[in-house]
Structure 1
Amino acid sequence: MAGMRRRGSGREPGADLAELAVRASKDARGVDPALLDGYLEVLAAISVTRHRIGDDQKRLRHEVGGRAAAQGVALRDLIDLYLSATWIAWPTLPGVEGAAGTEAFREIGEAVFRAVDATVVELAEGYEQAQRWWVRQEESLRREFVDDLLDGRNLGQLAERAERFGLRLAASHVVAVVTASEPFLDGGAVARQVEASLHLRLGSRDVLVTTKDSLLVCVVPGTLVDAADEYVRQVSLAVGADVRWRAGVGRAQPGPGGAVRSFEQAKHAVGIAAKLDLPGHLHKAEDLLVYQVLLRDSAALAELVGVVLEPLRTARSGARPLVDTLAAYFATGRVATVTARRLQVGVRTVTYRLSRIKALTGYSADDPEQAFTLQVAVLGARLLDWPEHDVP
């Protein structure tokens, strides 16, 4: 290493190397010169021996790349540090200073640049490997947090962990879920697009879009009044026109346990909407309270369905066409012509079925009081999947 000492300076080589490292750091926007970690000494040795860089050095540069990633150093700045160190050190390398003739310079240059190439490759691979590890760690932490948040586990620790993902759980939150004909994937394109769009449109980072049990889930502060409608709009843009989907929205609920309560309400809302084939994409829990009241006493509801509708099973075509006719009849305001169009049958078929229903059950769909009993029974049948499944 004697050649690395400045001519006539009388200084130790290490002092000169440290000075070169500082100069390289300044040239590379102040990247910590410690990340060179013996690189200049390696270049000095290679300029003399003209050997290839060894496996130990390759492993070291790989580790340095990972270390730089952990420190938050940009990859381009790390590579800039090494390239700057190379050209700054070049004139003082002992092999260069002692070279005699063009051929010697050529061989030294080839050996040094070959070492630089191998070094940069190892730095980049180590850096990218560390980045991938951190991404996997972040995804794992996010998945664990989401599961605890929506399952109601470890509530005492949720508030502190939530800040990492932009949520303040002391406030009220609303949860919206989307179910579609195709399951939503964790970290998929739809989830990423919807979350990015919501951050932009709502002007807030306190929005979490994730997946849970094949549902696309959105958690937003209760103060963002229009967030649910905007969420539905962004979902419609992301999934496309060919995908069938529904959204359910829970009510605003406070505290760390509020998200799981709103999540359950949202799932319940979308489940009711699917069973009743309610029109539209967006279904809010607060608008479906009457159905929740019906389901709250499932035993009474099952008894009502059994007593009122069970006789329809004896019809020649079974109970299903008659139940569907009643559902369409009530949904269209008890107008036979509109009911016929919806069911794609003739008006006479509708009136015949209504007559058969009255004959079998004793309830008339055109009598206001009896119609109410029939309508509640039909709602119960759809909520309980009757007549495909027997009521308990």
Structure 2
Amino acid sequence: MPTRRRPQDAGPVAPAAAVPALDAETAAENEPPPGDMHRHLKRLADASLNKRGLPEEDLEELRQLAAAAAARGTALRFLVAEYLGSVCRIWTDLSDSQQVLAPEDLREVGSALIKAIGDATVALTQGYETAHRAAVRGEEAMRREFVDDLLDGRTDLGRLAERAERFGLRLVGPHSVAVARADSPVGAGDDTTRYVEEALTSRFSTGNVLITTKDSLLVCVSPGAVQDVPDFFATAVRHAVDEQCRIAVSRPRPGPSGIVRSYQEARSALDLATQLGLSPPLIHASDLLVFQVLGRDRAAITDLVATALGGLEDARGGPKALLETLTAYFATGCLNTATARRLGLSVRTITYRLTRIRQLTGHDPADPDQRYILQTAVLGARLLDWPSRPLQPAD
């Protein structure tokens, strides 16, 4: 669940809900169609004098009138203000009419008029909100289609660039893609997504960032020139969720086709980091290139692990302890003292283990020429999840 205050808006604002400036010229342009309104006001007066409510067909006409006003970009407050102003004129006309009403009749007429006004106002609001929600859903559907085309590369690139401008994204120049995966799936309308989007767009311009979701992942597309976006994105994601998450960042690539490749690279890096159990919450794809190279020839890396490290299976208790020692040894720059400190062991124990590794594998970790073979094999073992999983020899 999100841990910070969330924005109140439920989603993007559709063009149909744009609020015009409050001036006489704009108000005149936004007036409802006089014919429809005039016809309704006459019916309203008749219903009031007859002390009855408005029929359902009249209310439906008002809903359609409000929907048409929303499609033209008329603000709801202008629509309601115009309606109530017209009702006031009708009430004045009724009051000034030559028909003399008894006090009890006047009260009943006034009560009927107020009820009819309330029903009509509700109908106007319903019609307007229904049209507004339809416009928002249409906008969201267009955005979803654009995002899918952008990240999957399923459409003409020139047309894709034109559509990107509609959503404030400029596809000129190289872009990088960051993807985030949390324990719980992330959706387009989630509080987490809205929080991260608001945080990024308030820090960077909308033309420099696109926050979206795909396959339960949170995705951030940003220009390569704005290098601090991925780090800020990772921080916002960690603040938005109180559960474990991992973020991967691709290398920048030019053009719309580059975004597709960057997205695929970020996803692959995320999957690889999860497979390897890497601890950093922010993973750069460039740091995993060696694993990707090794993984391209699984048969070769399996053969290397079996040849270079297979002898560790003869160690007392199995190869796990010695393999962990090699991993820490290479990670600390081949320093016995630092390796002992990292593993919580004595230097003497580390020296003994390195000697056993040399005896069992035939390769000396301290020898620069032989060290590379062992280090590559250790990386391959992590990629193959050995020794937790037995090695599968190539056919």
The 3-state SS of whatever aligns with 1:323 is helix
Deviation at 1:96, TM superposition (A): 5.5
- Of the three residues 195, 205, 212, the one matched with 1:193 is 195
Shift in alpha-carbon separation, 1:290–1:37, aligned structure 2, 3 A = farther
Q: Which residue of 1 aligns with 2:27?
A: 29
Q: Which one scores higher on RCO, CA 8 angstroms, separation ≥ 6?
A: 2
Shift in alpha-carbon separation, 1:172–1:28, aligned structure 2, 3 A = closer
After superposition, what is the alpha-carbon deviation per residue over 1:279-300, rounded to whole angstroms, capped at 9, x for unaligned? 5333323343333333333332
After superposition, what is the alpha-carbon deviation per residue over 1:342-391, rounded to whole angstroms, capped at 9, x for unaligned? 34555555445434433322223222222221111111111232233334
In structure 1, give the amino acid aligned to 2:234: V
Shift in alpha-carbon separation, 1:135–1:342, aligned structure 2, 3 A = farther
In structure 1, give the amino acid aligned to 2:146: F
Query: After the TM superposition, which of the residue ranges 203-212 and 265-274 deviates more from structure 2?
Result: 265-274
How do 1:137-148 and structure 2 match up within 5 A?
Answer: 137-148=138-149
Per the normalisation by structure 1, the TM-score is: 0.83
Q: Which residue of 1 aligns with 2:99?
A: 98
Shift in alpha-carbon separation, 1:101–1:374, aligned structure 2, 3 A = same
* Structure 2 spans left out of the alignment, 5+ residues: 1-22
In structure 2, give the amino acid aligned to 1:201: R
The 3-state SS of whatever aligns with 2:208 is coil
In structure 2, how many angstroms separate the alpha carbons of the residues matched to 1:221 and 1:365?
A: 43
CA contact (8 A) 2:179 2:248 kept: yes
In structure 1, how many angstroms separate the alpha carbons of the residues matched to 2:386 and 2:148?
A: 33
In structure 2, how many angstroms separate the alpha carbons of the residues matched to 1:314 and 1:98?
A: 111
Deviation at 1:69, TM superposition (A): 2.2
Shift in alpha-carbon separation, 1:64–1:348, aligned structure 2, 3 A = farther
Q: Which residue of 2 aligns with 1:303?
A: 303
Shift in alpha-carbon separation, 1:382–1:96, aligned structure 2, 3 A = farther
After superposition, what is the alpha-carbon deviation per residue over 1:321-348, rounded to whole angstroms, capped at 9, x for unaligned? 3322321221122334443443455555
CA contact (8 A) 1:148 1:154 kept: yes
CA contact (8 A) 1:276 1:379 kept: no
Q: What is the number of residues matched between the two proteins?
A: 366
After superposition, what is the alpha-carbon deviation per residue over 1:50-90, rounded to whole angstroms, capped at 9, x for unaligned? 21111111222222232222222222222112111111221
Q: Which residue of 2 aligns with 1:74?
A: 75
Deviation at 1:169, TM superposition (A): 2.5
Tell whether 2:217 aligns with 1:176. no
Tell whether 2:135 aligns with 1:134. yes
Q: Which residue of 2 aligns with 1:359?
A: 359
Identity %: 46
Query: After the TM superposition, which of the residue ranges 101-110 and 203-212 deviates more from structure 2?
Result: 203-212
In structure 2, how many angstroms separate the alpha carbons of the residues matched to 1:96 and 1:326?
A: 100
How do 1:153-168 and structure 2 match up within 5 A?
Answer: 153-156=154-157, 157-168=159-170
In structure 1, how many angstroms separate the alpha carbons of the residues matched to 2:107 and 2:166?
A: 54
After superposition, what is the alpha-carbon deviation per residue over 1:163-219, rounded to whole angstroms, capped at 9, x for unaligned? 221122243221111223333222222221222222221234331111122221101
Q: Which has the larger radius of gyration?
A: 1
In structure 2, how many angstroms separate the alpha carbons of the residues matched to 1:88 and 1:106?
A: 18
Deviation at 1:44, TM superposition (A): 2.0
CA contact (8 A) 2:32 2:65 kept: no
CA contact (8 A) 1:185 1:214 kept: yes
In structure 1, give the amino acid aligned to 2:294: L
How do 1:8-27 and structure 2 match up within 5 A?
Answer: none
The 3-state SS of whatever aligns with 1:174 is strand
* Structure 1 spans left out of the alignment, 5+ residues: 1-24
Q: Which residue of 2 aligns with 1:265?
A: 265
How do 1:111-130 and structure 2 match up within 5 A?
Answer: 111-130=112-131
Shift in alpha-carbon separation, 1:68–1:206, aligned structure 2, 3 A = farther
In structure 2, how many angstroms separate the alpha carbons of the residues matched to 1:93 and 1:67?
A: 29
Shift in alpha-carbon separation, 1:282–1:237, aligned structure 2, 3 A = same
In structure 2, how many angstroms separate the alpha carbons of the residues matched to 1:384 and 1:36?
A: 74
Shift in alpha-carbon separation, 1:345–1:137, aligned structure 2, 3 A = farther
In structure 1, how many angstroms separate the alpha carbons of the residues matched to 2:192 and 2:348?
A: 47
Q: Which residue of 2 aligns with 1:85?
A: 86
In structure 1, how many angstroms separate the alpha carbons of the residues matched to 2:139 and 2:382?
A: 43
After superposition, what is the alpha-carbon deviation per residue over 1:247-305, rounded to whole angstroms, capped at 9, x for unaligned? 22212222221111111122233334344444533332334333333333333222211
In structure 1, how many angstroms separate the alpha carbons of the residues matched to 2:386 and 2:257?
A: 34
Deviation at 1:26, TM superposition (A): 6.3
Query: After the TM superposition, which of the residue ranges 79-88 and 169-178 deviates more from structure 2?
Result: 169-178
Q: Which residue of 2 aligns with 1:282?
A: 282
Deviation at 1:123, TM superposition (A): 1.4
Deviation at 1:115, TM superposition (A): 0.4
CA contact (8 A) 1:27 1:81 kept: no
- Of the three residues 225, 232, 235, the one matched with 2:234 is 232
Tell whether 2:32 aligns with 1:39. no
The 3-state SS of whatever aligns with 1:29 is helix
CA contact (8 A) 1:48 1:95 kept: no
Deviation at 1:144, TM superposition (A): 1.8
CA contact (8 A) 1:162 1:168 kept: yes
Q: Which residue of 1 aligns with 2:369?
A: 369
Per the normalisation by structure 2, the TM-score is: 0.83
The 3-state SS of whatever aligns with 1:187 is coil
Query: After the TM superposition, which of the residue ranges 344-353 and 110-119 deviates more from structure 2?
Result: 344-353
In structure 2, how many angstroms separate the alpha carbons of the residues matched to 1:174 and 1:59?
A: 50
Shift in alpha-carbon separation, 1:141–1:103, aligned structure 2, 3 A = same
